[in-house]
Every structure is written in C-alpha cells, then in structure tokens.
C-alpha cells in the first residue's frame, strides 16, 4: 500500500473539493474521496499509520497519491498537525487554498446553520457577532497567517503552495491547475473537464432549517438535505449587514497583511472601509 505524496490541507469553504475533483480526473493521480481527518483528530490519529494507509489501498503503484482534509490547515491539536504530518510524511507536498476570510466565515456560518448547529432563530448578524465574541472556531479558521506560518516553521516553505480562491480558483482555474501540476511534478496540459462546476456549495431553504431544528439524528438530517435539493425549494438568501461585515474585516485586517507578506502575493479581499486590499 501507499501513503500520500501530497495533501490538500485547506482551507474550509475555499474550493478544496473542486481541486480534489479535478485531480481525480487524471489517470496518474489517486485522491481519496472524502476527508480522512487523521492528523487533526486524536481518535483517528491514535489508530496509527496502518489505519491511515488503508485509505489508499486502491491506489496503483505508478500514480501520485493524495488526500484532502481542509481541517489540517488550522493548527488546532495540542501536538500540532504540521509536526504530525512531517513525522509520517517528511517529503510530502502541501496545497492550501485561502478564501477572503470574511466570506469564508459567512459561508461557515451558513453551513453550521444548515446542519442545525447554529440556532435558526438568531439573525445572521446576531449569530456572527456571538461567534466573534466567543472566539468560535469558524472565525479562527480565517486567521491564515498564523496557520501558514505554523507549516513554514516545520516544512520548507517551497513545499506549500498557497492559492487564492477568488483570484485563482474562480477567476483563473486553468492557471491554478497548472500551478498545482508544476508543484506536484505532474505532466502539464491535461484537459480538465467541468472547471466551472461548483462542488460542495451550501444552499438551503427555510424548510430545511426547520427540519434540522426538529431532527436530532445526523442520518435524518442528511436525508432532509437531499430532499431539500431534490425539491429545489428557493434558497434562503441571507447576508450580514455592512456593520457586521466591517467588524469581520477589521478582525482579519492585520492577519491578512501578514499573510500577504509571508507568501509574497496579495489578494483582493474585503476591508472594513468597504473597499478591497
């Protein structure tokens, strides 16, 4: 069996599922479907590398092997995800996609609300302000500078490719995939299909929110989500107020600037003034 040659480490809600889907189109790449959560979940990590390796048992010997778990980017475990990865996979290559942290936080809120993990009775503004006040992980995941720096301290920075969701994945997917190919040592020029197809998009109706409030079992919630999509009910369009967006932007401003200096590139992200960086 094999272990990964590369890992897509994050961030959440930033196009990692899209990238994994594109790479699976290639005959010379194997990407495990789903998220393994080995390095960030103590329960899985304690099962040992043999358990981790079983997830790649279907990979041929002549292909590049990878996995995708967006929760690897934020360094949340006590031992440290970068250290755990380096210990098992010292030569692994890493790919991160970072999204405007304001929009990523809003997207995470919507996902949590869809799953019934945030009260549907609260307005989006009240919920986001409470999450900011509480230091909720959905807010902390957007502090990209400190997360990327943790990886730079453990790995040669050249092993980590950082892409921007808006600038690379959304606006220039061909160029983004070419960068990934070069980073991973793949033959260039592959004809990827469905580059404009969105993967893992959070969309939900008021009916689904009500169902998730009433249904306690994750299995029934999954059934409700599938039914909601099949019925194609009007999606709930909720956007926070300008004041909430400004507070989120101010929260991330310094961190964003440090990230841009660290990786040597800038992204046009939301600022508290309403303009872009």
- What mean pLDDT, rounded, does the chain reach? 88
Cβ partners under 8 Å of residue 39, min gap 6: 45, 69, 72, 77, 81, 84, 85
Residue 111, domain member (yes or no)? yes
229 within domain boundaries: no
Each residue of 11-59: pLDDT tens digit? 988 999 999 999 999 999 999 999 999 999 999 999 999 999 999 999 9
Supply 5's token pair: 């040659």
CB 103 within 8 A of CB 270: yes
Reply yes or no on whether the pLDDT at 226 is more than 90.
no
Domain that holds residue 148: 6-202+236-263
CA atoms within 13 A on the CB side of 65: 19
Give the pLDDT of residue 210: 52
pTM, 2 dp = 0.84
Give the pLDDT score at 276.
47
- Is 101 inside any structural domain? yes
How far is Cα 107 from Cα 104, in angstroms, rounded to an integer?
5
Tokens of 112: 């949590």
> Is residue 34 one of the residues assigned to a domain?
yes
Say if CB 96 and CB 70 are below 8 A apart: no
At residue 232, the pLDDT reads 55
Considering only residues 230 and 52, tell me which one the structure prediction assigns the higher pLDDT: 52
Instruction: List, for residues 131-164, the tens digit of each pLDDT value.
Output: 999 999 999 999 999 999 999 999 999 999 999 9
pLDDT in the model for residue 88: 98
Question: Given this model, what pLDDT does residue 194 score?
Answer: 86
Rounded (10°) CA dihedral 58, 50, 23, 157: -160
The side-by-side arrangement of strands in the sheet containing 29-31 is 29-31, 64-68, 6-10, 93-98, 160-164
In a domain, residue 150? The reply is yes
Q: How many domains does the chain have?
A: 1
For 106-122, write each residue's pLDDT tens digit: 999 988 887 777 777 78
Q: Is residue 212 part of a domain?
A: no
Is there a domain that residue 123 lies in? yes
The pLDDT of residue 205 is: 52
Stretch 239-256: mean pLDDT: 96
Q: Band the pLDDT of 230: cuts 50, 70, 90.
A: low
Name the nearest CA neighbour of 69 among 160, 1, 149, 8.
8
276 inside domain: no
Question: Residue 176 burial (CB < 10 Å; 0-12/13-18/19+)?
Answer: buried
Q: Across residues 223-252, what is the average pLDDT? A: 76
CATH number, residue 11: 3.40.50.300
pLDDT at 61 > cutoff 70: yes
Confidence of residue 98 (pLDDT cuts 50, 70, 90): very high
- What's residue 222's pLDDT? 62
């Amino acid at each position: 069996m094999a272990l990964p040659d590369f890992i897509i480490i994050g961030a959440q809600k930033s196009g990692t599922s899209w990238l994994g889907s594109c790479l699976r189109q290639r005959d010379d790449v194997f990407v495990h479907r789903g998220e393994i959560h080995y390095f960030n979940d103590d329960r899985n990590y304690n099962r040992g590398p043999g358990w981790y390796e079983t997830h790649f048992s279907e990979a041929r010997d002549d292909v590049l092997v990878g996995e995708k778990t967006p929760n690897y980017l934020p360094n949340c475990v006590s031992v440290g995800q970068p250290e755990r990865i380096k210990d098992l996979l010292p030569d692994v290559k890493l790919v991160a996609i970072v999204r405007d942290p304001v929009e990523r936080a809003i997207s995470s809120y919507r996902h949590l609300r869809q799953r019934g993990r945030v009260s549907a009775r609260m307005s989006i503004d009240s919920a986001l302000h409470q999450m900011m006040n509480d230091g909720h992980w959905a807010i902390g995941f957007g502090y990209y500078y400190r997360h990327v720096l943790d990886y730079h301290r453990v790995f040669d920075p050249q092993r980590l490719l950082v892409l921007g969701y808006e600038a690379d994945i959304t606006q220039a997917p061909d160029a983004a995939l070419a960068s990934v190919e070069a980073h991973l040592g793949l033959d260039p020029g592959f004809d990827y299909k469905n580059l404009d197809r969105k993967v893992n998009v959070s969309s939900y109706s008021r009916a689904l929110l009500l169902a998730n409030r009433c249904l306690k079992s994750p299995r029934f919630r999954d059934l409700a989500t599938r039914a909601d999509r099949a019925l194609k009910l009007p999606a709930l369009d909720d956007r926070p107020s300008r004041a909430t967006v400004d507070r989120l932007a101010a929260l991330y401003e310094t961190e964003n600037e440090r990230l841009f200096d660290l990786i040597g590139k800038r992204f046009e992200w939301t600022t508290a003034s309403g303009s872009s960086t």
